[in-house]
């Protein structure tokens, strides 16, 4: 019995010594901390924002005259070409004015002009007859066959006939083809037809009808916007960009856009405009992305998620941001495990984002960096590592092996 008890004590003591030795070794090895392996991988940096679809310009269509709408031929969403009729106004007065001008021109051409031509011919014949009579009486007076008073009467008749011819010529000239009288009549007809044409409200540009403010029976006035048309052509995505991301974006950068209504149908765009000023109220900068070609599913003012590619590396050393820390002087650093010991090393960063960043100096592929920035460690302290998975890869614009680095 005493022997069994002694054996048990020796075994317990041996187990305790083993445990103490194991604990001592573990303590000597240091704590087990999460870590990441530094690897060289393709990397894409994007700025993520939300915008809305807008057309490059919009045309406002109204009536040039006052009138009553009798017909509306388009509605929102209809595509129109330049010259298409959007609405029709009552045209009774304009039709009457056109008929009156046409009648006046027809009267000139078929009535007044022929009468003037006939009057001119009669005036010429009358003057010729008066001249012959004057010459005949002058001969008779030389022969003393008539009195001078008779010759004077013939000369007065010739003068009157000459004046009548001049008047007939003037009237015929005013009513002749291309003469002022016909020109005035044609201009009056053209003005009447132009006024009639204004009763048809037409699209001046090709595009898509966005709004309509006219219905049959409405009284419209000049200056009132009846239709708004998004011009056909370039479409843009207007993005209020947070000013903190202004340094990352530049003209010409590619982007991938996804409309909230069609998440499975992304489309391409590019940065076309960056405003030169910042909105002081919202702290944003207006950025416009040009969309070409324009997908059929896009609608005006549609909400769109935007991923602008602001940087790309085909091979970059990528470190998760939680493995980075900042020294007292503001320089970035990381805790690297070498030979089982933790060492802090100053690093230089390239592309930066919320999840991960590129390290351009200070680390090399194969290094192991501690997560959480090595909080609470001392230089040279022994540590054990527990490798964590690398940041997830894959976005709409990144390939399967690329790590997206995003700014919000």
- Is this model's pTM higher than 0.75 or not? no
Q: How far apart are CA 266 and CA 289, in angstroms?
A: 14
Q: How far apart are CA 202 and CA 366, in angstroms?
A: 70
Neighbour-count burial of 44, counting CB atoms closer than 10 A to its CB (0-12 exposed, 13-18 middle, 19+ buried): buried
Asked whether the beta carbons of 32 and 386 are under 8 A apart, the reply is yes
Q: Which of 266, 296, 293, 234 lies closest to 77 in space, CA to CA?
A: 296
Residue 372 DSSP class = G
Which residue, chain included where needed, has tokens 């003469």? 179
Q: Which of 310, 311, 303, 309 lies closest to 239 in space, CA to CA?
A: 303
What is the dihedral sign for C-alpha 182, 187, 190, 192? negative
C-alpha separations of 406 from 258, 341, 355 in Å = 16, 32, 7
Q: Which of 321, 278, 245 lies closest to 48 in space, CA to CA?
A: 245
Q: Which of 405, 331, 339, 326 lies closest to 367 in space, CA to CA?
A: 339
Going residue by residue through the chain, which has 408 residues, state the pLDDT in tens, using 9 for 90 and above.
555 666 666 565 655 554 554 444 444 456 778 888 888 888 888 888 999 988 767 788 999 999 999 999 998 888 889 889 999 999 888 889 888 888 876 776 665 656 666 666 776 777 788 788 778 878 777 877 777 887 788 778 878 877 877 776 776 666 556 556 677 777 888 888 888 889 999 998 888 888 889 899 999 999 899 998 877 767 889 999 999 888 889 999 999 999 988 989 999 999 989 999 998 899 999 999 988 888 888 887 889 999 898 888 888 888 888 888 888 788 888 888 888 888 888 888 888 766 778 888 888 888 888 887 666 677 778 888 888 776 554 333 333 333 344 444
C-alpha separations of 285 from 51, 235, 249, 406 in Å = 12, 19, 11, 18
């Amino acid at each position: 019995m005493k022997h069994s008890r002694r054996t048990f004590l020796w075994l317990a003591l041996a187990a305790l010594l083993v445990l103490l030795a194991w604990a001592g070794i573990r303590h000597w090895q240091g704590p087990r901390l999460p870590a990441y392996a530094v690897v060289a991988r393709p990397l894409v940096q994007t700025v993520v924002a939300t915008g809305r679809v807008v057309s490059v310009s919009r045309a406002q269509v109204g009536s040039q005259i006052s009138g009553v709408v009798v017909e509306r031929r388009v509605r929102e969403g209809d595509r129109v070409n330049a010259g298409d009729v959007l609405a029709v106004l009552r045209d009774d007065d304009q039709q009457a004015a056109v008929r009156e001008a046409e009648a006046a021109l027809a009267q000139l051409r078929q009535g007044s002009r022929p009468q003037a031509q006939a009057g001119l011919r009669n005036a010429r014949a009358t003057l010729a007859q008066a001249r012959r009579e004057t010459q005949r009486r002058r001969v008779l007076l030389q022969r003393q066959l008539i009195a001078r008073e008779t010759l004077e009467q013939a000369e007065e008749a010739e003068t009157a006939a000459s004046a009548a011819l001049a008047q007939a010529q003037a009237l015929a000239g005013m009513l002749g083809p291309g003469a002022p009288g016909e020109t005035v009549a044609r201009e009056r007809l053209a003005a009447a037809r132009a006024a009639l044409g204004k009763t048809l409200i037409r699209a001046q540009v090709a595009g898509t009808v966005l709004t309509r403010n006219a219905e049959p029976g409405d009284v419209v006035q000049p200056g009132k916007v009846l239709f708004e048309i998004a011009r056909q052509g370039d479409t843009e995505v207007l993005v209020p960009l947070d000013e903190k991301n202004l340094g990352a974006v530049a003209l010409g950068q590619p982007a991938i856009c996804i409309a909230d209504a069609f998440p499975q149908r992304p489309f391409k765009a590019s940065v076309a405009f960056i405003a030169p000023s910042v909105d002081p109220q919202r702290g944003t900068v207006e950025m416009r992305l040009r969309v070409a070609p324009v997908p059929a599913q896009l609608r005006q003012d549609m909400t769109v998620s935007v991923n602008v590619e602001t940087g790309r590396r085909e091979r970059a050393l990528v470190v998760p941001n939680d493995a980075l820390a900042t020294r007292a002087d503001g320089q970035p650093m990381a805790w690297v495990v070498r030979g089982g010991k933790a060492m802090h090393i100053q690093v230089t960063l390239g592309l930066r984002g919320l999840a991960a960043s590129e390290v351009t100096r200070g680390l090399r592929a194969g290094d192991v960096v501690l997560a959480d920035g090595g909080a609470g460690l001392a230089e040279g302290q022994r540590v054990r590592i527990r490798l964590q998975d690398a940041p997830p890869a894959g976005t709409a614009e990144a390939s399967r092996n690329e790590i997206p680095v995003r700014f919000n």
